[in-house]
Amino acid sequence: MTDLFPEFLQPYEGLIVGAATALIIFILGWIASKWVYALCLRAARRADVDEALARFLSAIAQYAVLAFAVIASLSKVGVPTTSLVALLGAAGLAVGLALQGNLGHFASGVMLLLFRPFTIGDKVRVAGEDGQVKEIGLFASTLGTPSNEVKIVPNGSITSDVIVNYTAQGTLRGGIAVGIAYGSDVQRAMEVMIDTCKRVDTVLPDPAPSVNFAGFGASSLDFEVRPWATSDDYLGMLHAARIALYDALNEAGIDIPFDQIVVHQAA
């Protein structure tokens, strides 16, 4: 080996060989990290993993390979890698403790992207907030509200509470409270309410609308009208059905009373 180097470089032969070996290891590791990234990304996409999560996990795999290559390269030039690994581990622990709240949101974001309780475009209630999902991030998700507000909800708050997905089933059943006057013909009133709902364009014929006698109120006989609609038509259907019910009951001569208080005066 000494014949490969001029005499003035022979004292540095070990360092030169180590540096060359380290460079080769780093180059091979860099190429391997790119290959691992592409392989992981392809596998994640084939498994239908969310694109943001697929890229993030692939990047972690890439940097893990690259870190291994760097450590292996440094060991070839005499750097004590044991101490370096310990230092990196301590730094990682310190960062983890400082960002534990954000890491919790990150873990929740991974769960949302993996298990998909909702997707972009779904109408949901999460962490007590209603809206349409605009974005599912790794740390927070974005909702758009009917009032055109934008709400940023931390993912940790979403997974720690009940998630209601209004869109997942494709249809929703509405509940419209209707009160009629005492003494009214109950059967006739129920027939009017069901027939009225069937004539509303956005009410689905199947499942058919129904009426439930909910109870005896202070001033009225209380009913719950239950029409069905697609998720997209739901709010519009409730609006149209309420108007149609009010008009139909009035035309049928069935009173819709307002709250009343009866005062009895002692003799």
Q: Is residue 131 part of a domain?
A: yes
Pair (130, 156) in one structural domain: yes
Pair (70, 6) in one structural domain: yes
Pair (175, 146) in one structural domain: no
How would you class 241 by CB atoms within 10 Å of its CB: exposed for 0-12, middle for 13-18, buried for 19 or more?
buried
Please provide the distance, in angstroms rounded to a whole number, between the alpha carbons at the two ends of the chain: 125
* pTM of the predicted structure, to 2 decimals: 0.63
Whole-number Å distance between alpha carbons of 195 and 174: 16
pLDDT digits (tens, 9 = 90+) for 57-74: 788 788 888 888 888 877
CATH number of the domain to which 218 belongs: 3.30.70.100
- Which of the four pLDDT bands, split at 50, 70 and 90, describes residue 137? confident
pLDDT digits (tens, 9 = 90+) for 22-50: 788 888 888 998 999 899 888 888 877 77
CATH number of the domain to which 91 belongs: 1.10.287.1260
pLDDT digits (tens, 9 = 90+) for 105-124: 778 888 888 888 998 899 99
| CB burial string 111-130: b at 16+ within 10 A, e below | ebbeeeebeeebbbebbebe
Pair (178, 156) in one structural domain: no
Q: Is residue 77 part of a domain?
A: yes
The reported pLDDT for the residue numbered 76 is 72
Q: Is residue 51 part of a domain?
A: yes
Pair (93, 181) in one structural domain: no
The reported pLDDT for the residue numbered 234 is 93
Q: Is residue 257 part of a domain?
A: no
Q: Is residue 106 part of a domain?
A: no
Pair (143, 186) in one structural domain: no
Q: Is residue 103 part of a domain?
A: no
Whole-number Å distance between alpha carbons of 146 and 168: 19
pLDDT averaged over the chain?
84
Q: What is the DSSP string of the chain?
A: -GGGS-GGGGGGHHHHHHHHHHHHHHHHHHHHHHHHHHHHHHHHHHTT--HHHHHHHHHHHHHHHHHHHHHHHHHHTT--HHHHHHHHHHHHHHHHHHTHHHHHHHHHHHHHHHH-SS-TT-EEEETTEEEEEEEE-SSEEEEE-TTS-EEEEEHHHHHTS--EESSTTSEEE--EEEEE-TTS-HHHHHHHHHHHHHHSTTS-SSSPPEEEEEEE-SSSEEEEEE-EEETTTHHHHHHHHHHHHHHHHHHTT---PPP----PPP-
Pair (185, 240) in one structural domain: yes
Q: Is residue 142 part of a domain?
A: yes
Pair (231, 146) in one structural domain: no
Pair (93, 19) in one structural domain: yes
Whole-number Å distance between alpha carbons of 212 and 190: 9
Pair (204, 140) in one structural domain: no
CATH number of the domain to which 140 belongs: 2.30.30.60
Query: Which domain covers residue 140, as residue numbers?
Result: 117-165
Q: Is residue 50 part of a domain?
A: yes
Whole-number Å distance between alpha carbons of 182 and 215: 12
The tally of domains found in the chain comes to 3
Residue 101 tokens read as 């709240």
